[in-house]
């Protein structure tokens, strides 16, 4: 299958690279064209619009920031639908709401384009190593057609069910991710206030019942003061808003999610939205000084 890939950010660039390594014929587009040209040197065809990507592809993948970006990729004057042939499969691997996925699928069906929502988790590390967990919603027969494509980017591929169910499961994941970060940072702040060495805290958390991906991957970064993004705080804030809105529509109380969202709102308001989610420690440090 000829694949198009739109969105070469922290995650997307590595995911597209893994498709190239797997031997797929790949066409790439990114608003910052230099990133696409860099992949062009590795064998990808560089496109200068989503429309051009669709012209050269049987499957088009988007890995962009938010719902408005997906809509622009699809329905703008130079969007995918302007040249996408009937039977094209469009896969949105960014994180949006289940309702947005359903609305997008319905709209694309009018053009004869199939749709899968397939958000991922695993951060920049998982994207680089091809070990992402991928959650897929949509028609199962369409999923089976493109399953080898997912396997080139991820290790744990989960077909969830109908359109929007991939996004729904991803939002559940983000609730845990956000609250785990809150727990790790509060534990670190408490340990430091009690004079406990950072390394001793890490030794206990990483080998005991408190162990998690956040402990293993992000706690060492926090300890070193490394706030560069594996996943941007502004993106997690967006995901938590979707999760809270989805819970609210079902009259479901999510007090922990609400707390995490307010903390990440604070981080973004401090001008740190482009930093990694572990930068939340700066919010706590500011609270201490207040």
Residues 181 and 206 in one domain: yes
Could you say which of 125, 141, 163 is where a domain stops? 163
Q: pTM for the whole thing?
A: 0.94
Catalytic residue among 35, 45, 102, 170: 170
Q: What range does the domain containing 85 cover?
A: 2-163
Contact 242, 211 (CB under 8 A): no
Residues 278 and 227 in one domain: yes
* pLDDT of 290: 66
pLDDT digits (tens, 9 = 90+) for 115-151: 999 999 999 999 999 999 999 999 999 999 999 999 9
For residues 77-103, average pLDDT: 95
pLDDT digits (tens, 9 = 90+) for 242-253: 999 999 999 999
For residues 182-200, average pLDDT: 97
Residues 199 and 213 in one domain: yes
Determine the distance from the C-alpha atom of residue 98 to the mean position of all C-alpha atoms in its chain, rounded to a whole number.
14
Asked whether residue 257 carries a pLDDT value surpassing 80, the answer given is: yes
* pLDDT of 84: 84
For residues 96-123, average pLDDT: 96
Residues 177 and 284 in one domain: yes
Asked whether residue 214 carries a pLDDT value surpassing 80, the answer given is: yes
Could you say which of 163, 183, 212 is where a domain stops? 163
Residues 134 and 242 in one domain: no
Tell me the average pLDDT of the chain: 96
For residues 85-112, average pLDDT: 96
Closest to 84 in 3D by CA, of 167, 31, 27, 166 = 27
CATH of residue 15's domain is: 3.40.50.720
Buried b (16+ CB within 10 A) or exposed e, 108-143: beebebbbbbbbbbbbbebbbebebbbbbbbeeebb
CATH of residue 249's domain is: 1.10.1040.10
Residues 206 and 220 in one domain: yes
Split into its structural domains, the chain has a count of 2
Does the annotation mark 286 as catalytic? no
* pLDDT of 289: 82
Residues 112 and 30 in one domain: yes
Could you say which of 163, 197, 224 is where a domain stops? 163
DSSP result, 107-167: HHHTTT-EEEE--EESHHHHHHHT-EEEEEES-HHHHHHHHHHHHHHEEEEEEEESTTHHH
pLDDT digits (tens, 9 = 90+) for 52-88: 999 999 999 999 999 999 999 999 999 999 998 899 9
Residues 243 and 156 in one domain: no
Burial degree of 174 (CB within 10 A; 0-12, 13-18, 19+):
buried
pLDDT digits (tens, 9 = 90+) for 3-29: 999 999 999 999 999 999 999 999 999
For residues 31-53, average pLDDT: 96
Residues 154 and 10 in one domain: yes
Contact 249, 241 (CB under 8 A): no
Q: Considering the chain, what percentage of its residues have pLDDT values greater than 70? A: 100
């Amino acid at each position: 299958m000829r694949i198009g890939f739109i969105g070469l950010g922290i995650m997307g660039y590595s995911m597209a690279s893994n498709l190239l390594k797997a031997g797929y014929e790949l066409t790439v587009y990114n608003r910052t064209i230099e990133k696409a040209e860099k992949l062009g040197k590795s064998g990808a065809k560089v496109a200068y619009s989503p429309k051009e990507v669709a012209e050269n592809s049987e499957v088009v993948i988007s890995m962009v920031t938010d719902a408005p970006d997906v809509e622009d990729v699809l329905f703008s004057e130079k969007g995918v639908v302007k040249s996408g042939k009937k039977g094209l499969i469009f896969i949105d691997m960014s994180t949006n709401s289940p309702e947005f996925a359903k609305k997008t699928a319905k709209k694309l069906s009018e053009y004869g384009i199939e749709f899968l929502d397939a958000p991922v988790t695993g951060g920049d590390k998982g994207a680089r190593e091809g070990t992402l967990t991928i959650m897929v919603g949509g028609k199962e027969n369409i999923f089976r057609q493109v399953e080898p494509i997912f396997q080139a980017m991820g290790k744990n591929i989960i077909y969830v069910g109908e359109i929007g169910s991939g996004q729904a499961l991803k939002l559940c994941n983000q609730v845990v991710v956000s609250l785990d970060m809150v727990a790790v940072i509060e534990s670190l702040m408490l340990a430091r206030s009690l004079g406990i060495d950072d390394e001793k805290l890490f030794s206990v958390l990483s080998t005991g019942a408190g162990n998690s991906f956040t402990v293993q991957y992000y706690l060492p970064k926090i300890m070193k003061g490394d706030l560069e993004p594996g996943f941007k705080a502004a993106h997690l804030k967006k995901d938590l808003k979707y999760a809270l809105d989805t819970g609210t529509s079902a009259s479901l109380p999510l007090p922990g999610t609400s707390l995490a969202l307010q903390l990440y709102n604070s981080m973004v308001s401090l001008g740190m939205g482009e930093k990694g989610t572990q930068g939340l420690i700066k919010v706590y440090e500011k609270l201490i000084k207040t």
